[in-house]
């Protein structure tokens, strides 16, 4: 039993090799796109960034197929890891809510 527990613990500590992380194609830089999307190297990742800069944010994962060098097969391969959020909404999700200002200590008396 101890051997099994040790083995399971060791497996849980292994890095997530080959598993891609979800990536927002509207905010990710080329290095992130190349690292996280299967079948997308540096050149294709840069093409995605350039297409986004020229044509605006992607509205769906399928719009990636409009990028030169990206086919439907690459989109389908990565569909589970592709996120499509607008830049403003994605940024708002990472910014903590502002705290209200502390009450004034001035009593209003002269």
Q: Is the pLDDT of residue 97 over 80?
A: no
pLDDT at 22 exceeding the cut of 50: yes
- For the chain, list the domains and their CATH numbers: 20-92 (1.10.150.310)
Rounded to an integer, what distance in angstroms lies between the CA atom of residue 25 and that of residue 7? 37
Does 18 score more than 60 pLDDT? Answer: no
Nearest Cα to Cα of residue 93 among 22, 34, 36, 6: 22
pLDDT at 69: 94
| Between residues 40 and 109, the one the model is more confident about | 40
Instruction: Please give the pLDDT value at position 15.
Output: 47
The closest alpha carbon to 42, from 52, 51, 31, belongs to: 31
Q: Is the pTM of this model over 0.85?
A: no
Are 48 and 24 in contact by the 8 Å Cβ rule? The answer is no
């Amino acid at each position: 039993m101890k051997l099994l527990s040790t083995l399971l613990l060791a497996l849980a500590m292994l890095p997530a090799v080959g598993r891609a992380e979800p990536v927002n194609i509207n905010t990710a830089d080329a290095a992130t796109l190349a690292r996280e999307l299967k079948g997308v190297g540096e050149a294709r990742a840069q093409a995605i960034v350039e297409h986004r800069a020229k044509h605006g944010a992607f509205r769906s994962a399928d719009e990636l197929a409009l990028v030169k060098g990206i086919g439907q097969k690459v989109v389908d391969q990565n569909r589970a890891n592709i996120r499509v959020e607008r830049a403003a909404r994605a940024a708002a999700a990472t910014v903590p809510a502002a705290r209200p200002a502390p009450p004034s200590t001035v009593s209003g008396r002269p």
